[in-house]
Structures are given as structure tokens and as C-alpha cells.
Amino acid sequence: MKNIVFTTVVCLTLFPNANGFVYPNDGVFANPSDVHSFYQCSSSTSYLIHCPAGLVRNDAQKKCDWKVVDPIIHCAASNQPNCREKTRWATDGIVIVGVDSKSGSDSQHLNSLLGIFVDTLHGNNVYVADRSNNRIQMFLGNSLSSGGITVARGNGTGSNPNQLSSPLDVYVDKNENIYIADDGNQRIQMRQKGATSGITVAGGNGGDEELNKLNILKFTNGSSDGIIVAGQQEDESSAKILSRPTNVFVDDCETLYVAVTANDRIQKACNTVAGGYGEGSNASQFNQPWTVKLDQYNNMYIVDTFNGRIQKWRPNDSAGVTIIGGNGFDDKPNQLWFSYSLALDSEGNIFVNDLGNHRIQKFNVLSETNSY
Ligand SMILES: *[C@@H]1O[C@H](CO)[C@@H](O)[C@H](O)[C@H]1NC(C)=O
Ligand SMILES: *[C@@H]1O[C@H](CO)[C@@H](O)[C@H](O)[C@H]1NC(C)=O
Ligand SMILES: *[C@@H]1O[C@H](CO)[C@@H](O)[C@H](O)[C@H]1NC(C)=O
Ligand SMILES: *[C@@H]1O[C@H](CO)[C@@H](O)[C@H](O)[C@H]1NC(C)=O
């Protein structure tokens, strides 16, 4: 079945339609009182035409269309109330890897997993920094339970291009190149897709204050020196001072968000946008938030590590909502035993690293309604 396109017909004269509107030209015209119908004029007569059930009027193209296309909401205008944001998730996670909550080094186990990333451009493949196994594991999005595939491995501690030591975090670009926070070697390694050795794209010069060492720096692609974008030596409480910044997220508008773990707050550029009410477990507080990720509507998803929960804060909220966890520290499906990282797939499902249980939990999205 195709969309129905009306052919334009010739009207002999101008005439008012049933609603008193004067058609300036011959042809098919929108009915201002009904999104499902048109008027068509022909030989001084107007006909009301209804689009068939399930189809709606497309004014611009003068045809009945399948449905109104949802507007793409730009990040700069994302505070609109009509955002079709995800608001509810399953309380029980599905274990992707680590069913028995034990560490191991085969394809069904991990050992002290940290950063997690979902490649939404390539089938929602899931990547995780498998820290104590010195490897990056990848789980195919269409076959999550079939086990991990090693896409980068250690080969001993050291500074050679084929080595990897205690990886902390992982990011995958649009060409499926893998960027690894190679913690033990204090560098960011880039492994081109399929490569068994990498290129150091940042750091690799030991740790300290110089710009080619790693703090929170922005590295443009291809440059070995970073620009300091957050963190200065001023007084401790200032928004410019970051006490243990653990995770950064850059949105599509190039706004930088930083999880400032030791200060129990989330910073957006120089403003605190979540927390800042001291350490605690009420809806406005955090206890060591390690990671912040944003969705396309600028809602923040925060791993509130020492509260064992994932908090969601909408833009401008003064309190968050617990969407996952908050049920103590153990190995039940609704518990997170020290989580540090999360990632959202293209459907809004949330993957969480559950370090204490050596497992990845997937929490399926349940609804897209507009309220909590
Ligand atoms: C959020 O705060 C900003 C800055 O104060 C303001 O411009 C914006 O309209 C607010 N959005 C909502 C949804 O309240
Ligand atoms: C490990 O490193 C050694 C020495 O550089 C090299 O000969 C070997 O091929 C590497 N193995 C892997 C799996 O990369
Ligand atoms: C950086 O540039 C290289 C080479 O042009 C490209 O393959 C890679 O995808 C780029 N990385 C990012 C994050 O854009
Ligand atoms: C949370 O705790 C802070 C600090 O004690 C307090 O200022 C704030 O009012 C509390 N908020 C809620 C929603 O309980």
C-alpha cells in the first residue's frame, strides 16, 4: 500500500469553502479544522476528502501520509515538554555476562570490569574495559548472551603499541576504532578496527601537570597536546576545581559534563547541575557519583556508586529519581554492588557495570511516557 497523493484539479473560479475560506488557487487544500482531511476544488465545487484510517494529512506535500514524523529535537532546545523521553526501566536486570557473579577470563566472565560503552551506530554492540584481564571485550548487540569477543588484549605491561595495562574505560568512534583509557600506561590508546596493536593518541608521558599528561583535557583528533577544559588550581569549593573528576561526557553541543566524585556533584561547564547538597542518599544528593551520561534530551543518567543506584535528573531538576537499584549491595537482579559506569543503547535500554558481581546488567526500558 502506497501513500495516497492527490492530483491537483483545475478550479474555474475562486470560491469560499464550507468554512468561509477563500481558496486563492485551484487544487487541493488543507482543511484547517481537521488534520485528517483536505478540500479539493473542481469546477467551482469543493469536496471534502478524508484520508483513510491510519493516515494523516501531509500539508506540505498535499497527500495523506502514514504518520506525522516526530520532530528531531535539537539539543539546544531540548527542554521542551514534548520530549518523548524514556522514563521507566525494569527493576530487575538481565545478566549479559557473569551469570554466577564470579570473576574469570573466559568469554562468559570478566574480572573487575570498569567502563562500558554501547556503539549505537553499529548494532548496539557493547564494549567493556575488563580491567584485571587486561582486555577489551565486545558483545554483539544482536547476540548479547553468546559471550565476549576480545577486541584488544594486554600482552604484558609496558609502553609498546601492542600492550595494554589495567584498562579503565573504552569509547568507539564512527569507524569502529577503539579508544582505550590505558590506565597502567597512563595513555589513551587507539586501536583501529581489527588491529592487534595501537597508536597512542594522548598521554603516555607519565602523570603530572604538563599538558601532554592526562587530567581533564580535550584532545582534538590528531593533536598530542590537550587543552585544559576543566580543573584549575584555585580554591577547593570553586566550580573550577575538580576534586577527583572521574568521568567526562561531551554532548552534541560540545558541552562538557564532569562527574566530580569527591565533591558529590555533577558539573556542566562551570555550573553544578546535579547534587552539591553534600554527601548523602536523598533525592538531591549523591555518594560518590562516578559517571554521568546524557540522552538526546539532555536528561542526565548518573551512576551514584556508593548509594548503589542510578539516578536520572532532567534538565534544571533540583532532585533526581532512582531508576535502577537503590536496594543495597548484593547479587540480586535489582542490586548493584559497586557500579561505576553505564551506557544507553539506541532503544534507551541501560547497561551497567556491576563490578562487585563481575557482571554486566541490562535494564530494559519499559515506557516512553512523559512523566516519571
Ligand atoms: C532551564 O534553565 C535555563 C537557564 O536558567 C532556562 O533558560 C530554561 O528555560 C530552563 N528550562 C526549563 C524547562 O525550565
Ligand atoms: C606480544 O608481544 C610480543 C613482543 O612484542 C610479540 O612478538 C607478540 O606477537 C605479541 N602477541 C600478541 C598477541 O600481540
Ligand atoms: C580521527 O581521525 C582518524 C583518521 O582520520 C579517523 O579514522 C578517526 O575515526 C577519527 N576519530 C574520531 C573520534 O573522530
Ligand atoms: C537533601 O539533603 C540536603 C542536605 O541535607 C537538604 O538541604 C535537602 O533539602 C534535602 N532534599 C530533599 C529533597 O530531601
What pTM value is reported for the model? 0.72
**Numbers of helices and strands, H then E, in the chain:** 0, 30
In a domain, 322, yes or no: yes
Q: What is the pLDDT of residues 222-233, one digit of tens each?
A: 665 555 555 554
Confidence bin at 372 (pLDDT 50/70/90): very low
Q: Which domain-ending residue is among 49, 66, 83? A: 66
Give which of 134, 219, 151, 195 is closest to 204, Cα–Cα.
219
In a domain, 73, yes or no: no
Q: Check if the beta carbon of residue 79 is closer than 8 Å to that of residue 298.
A: yes
The pLDDT, as a whole number, for residue 260 is 73
Q: What is the pLDDT of residues 215-257, one digit of tens each?
A: 555 666 666 555 555 555 444 455 555 555 666 677 666 676 7
φ, ψ of residue 76 in degrees (nearest 5): -70, -20
Domain co-membership, 309 together with 203: yes
Domain co-membership, 301 together with 363: yes
Q: Give yes or no for residue 280 CB within 6 A of ligand 4.
A: yes
In a domain, 79, yes or no: no
Across the range 104-112, mean pLDDT stands at: 96
Q: Check if the beta carbon of residue 323 is closer than 8 Å to that of residue 312.
A: yes
Confidence bin at 367 (pLDDT 50/70/90): low
Give 61 or 369, the one with higher predicted confidence: 61
Confidence bin at 127 (pLDDT 50/70/90): very high
- Counting ligand 1 atoms within 8 A of each CB, the residue from 297, 316, 317 with the most, and so the one to mutate, is 316
The pLDDT, as a whole number, for residue 245 is 62
Q: Is the confidence at residue 48, as pLDDT, over 70?
A: no
Confidence bin at 11 (pLDDT 50/70/90): very low
The pLDDT, as a whole number, for residue 211 is 46
Which set of grid coordinates corresponds to residue 176?
A: 569502529
Rounded to an integer, what distance in angstroms lies between the CA atom of residue 359 and that of residue 348? Answer: 20
In a domain, 88, yes or no: no
Residues near ligand 3 with C-beta < 6 Å?
173, 175, 177, 221
Domain co-membership, 104 together with 238: yes
In a domain, 35, yes or no: yes
The residue range of the domain holding 33 is 8-66
Rounded to an integer, what distance in angstroms lies between the CA atom of residue 165 and that of residue 186? Answer: 9
Which ligand is nearest the CA of 195, by number?
Answer: 2
Which ligand 1 atom is the nearest neighbour of the CA of 80?
13
Q: Which residues, at least 6 apart from 166, have a Cβ–Cβ distance to it below 8 Å?
A: 131, 132, 134, 182, 183, 184
Q: Give yes or no for residue 25 CB within 6 A of ligand 4.
A: no
In a domain, 271, yes or no: yes
Which set of grid coordinates corresponds to residue 88?
A: 521507566
Residue 312, classed as helix, strand or coil, is strand
Which ligand 3 atom is the nearest neighbour of the CA of 174?
9
Rounded to an integer, what distance in angstroms lies between the CA atom of residue 107 and that of residue 137? Answer: 8
Which ligand 2 atom is the nearest neighbour of the CA of 162?
14
In a domain, 80, yes or no: no
Rounded to an integer, what distance in angstroms lies between the CA atom of residue 96 and that of residue 94? Answer: 6
Confidence bin at 201 (pLDDT 50/70/90): confident
> How many domains is the chain partitioned into structurally?
2
Q: What is the pLDDT of residues 329-343, one digit of tens each?
A: 999 999 999 999 999
Cα three-residue angle 41-45-50, rounded to 5 degrees: 55
Q: Give yes or no for residue 158 CB within 6 A of ligand 2.
A: no
Rounded to an integer, what distance in angstroms lies between the CA atom of residue 264 and that of residue 277? Answer: 8
Domain co-membership, 29 together with 144: no
Which ligand 1 atom is the nearest neighbour of the CA of 81?
13
Domain co-membership, 231 together with 347: yes
Across the range 180-188, mean pLDDT stands at: 84
Question: Which CATH number does the domain housing residue 223 bear?
Answer: 2.120.10.30
What separation in angstroms does the CA of 310 have from each of 15, 140, 236, 242, 301? 62, 24, 27, 22, 7
Pick the residue whose CA is nearest to atom 8 on ligand 1.
79
Domain co-membership, 208 together with 144: yes
Question: Which CATH number does the domain housing residue 19 bear?
Answer: 2.170.140
In a domain, 28, yes or no: yes
